[in-house]
Chain A
Amino acid sequence: GDSVTQMEGPVTLSEEAFLTINCTYTATGYPSLFWYVQYPGEGLQLLLKATKADDKGSNKGFEATYRKETTSFHLEKGSVQVSDSAVYFCALKGATNKLIFGTGTLLAVQP
């Protein structure tokens, strides 16, 4: 069945460092891919999405490119801020419309 595998955390970075959180998937067909973020004490919200191969989703300085050849959707940001500290979830929505999440990656950014 469809699945998502993402980088284990926690990830600890200094402010202004470069961030990569790896995400790979297994799915039949052409799923849509998402990154959700959960800030401390808050609910899940969509960060960015991509619906077809080679699409790049971007928001708040974060980017992720849908790579069909490597079945990946890695999240990147050039310069993280303390306010980016949160849990990040990679997810896919396949042909059955079931929304499948990775295990989440905790990011802690230190000043």
Chain B
Amino acid sequence: GAGVSQSPSNKVTEKGKDVELRCDPISGHTALYWYRQSLGQGLEFLIYFQGNSAPDKSGLPSDRFSAERTGGSVSTLTIQRTQQEDSAVYLCASSQIGNTEAFFGQGTRLTVV
């Protein structure tokens, strides 16, 4: 694709429900990153994929959070039993391996009510 695509762009969910956020990276990009940005805050690293494997998932806040990547392409971030503190913008980025920059999607704004 022309850029990193994230869906949905906005999601409002009730507390306790599960949500799935999707990221479609730039074609050919081996590395894929998930970050979380709360209002007025910086970027909180969640997880990083190289191909289909996740060498670093140290940023996942709890076991309610999980992510997978299939076919070296699309990634899904799943949040189970959502809590109000999960409300944030979830950002996905992709890059080629090496010293190249990462390109970001527009994010999914998650609101837990």
Contact for A89 among B42, B48, B99, B107, CB less than 8 A: B42
Contact for A101 among B43, B103, B106, CB less than 8 A: B43
Does A103 lie at the interface of the complex (its beta carbon under 8 Å from any beta carbon of B)? yes
Complex Cα distance A32/B102, Å? 11
* Contact between chains at B91 and A96 (CB < 8 Å): no
Interface string of A57-96 (1 = CB under 8 A from B): 0000000000000000000000000000000010001001
Chain B residues within an 8 Å CB radius of A103: 42
B-contacting residues, A88-111, CB 8 Å: 89, 93, 96-104
Interface size on B, residues (CB 8 A): 25
Most chain-A CB neighbours within 10 Å: which of B101, B105, B106?
A: B101
Chain A residues within an 8 Å CB radius of B107: 43
* Contact between chains at B101 and A96 (CB < 8 Å): no
Does A46 lie at the interface of the complex (its beta carbon under 8 Å from any beta carbon of B)? yes
* Contact between chains at A45 and B42 (CB < 8 Å): no
Give B36 Cβ to nearest chain A Cβ, in Å. 12
Does B93 lie at the interface of the complex (its beta carbon under 8 Å from any beta carbon of A)? yes
Does A34 lie at the interface of the complex (its beta carbon under 8 Å from any beta carbon of B)? yes
* Contact between chains at B102 and A99 (CB < 8 Å): yes
Point out residues on A near B: beta carbons under 8 Å.
Answer: 32, 34, 36, 43-46, 49, 51, 89, 93, 96-104
Can you identify 13 A-B contacts, CB atoms within 8 angstroms?
A: A36-B104, A43-B91, A43-B104, A46-B102, A89-B43, A93-B95, A93-B102, A97-B95, A98-B56, A99-B33, A99-B102, A101-B43, A102-B42
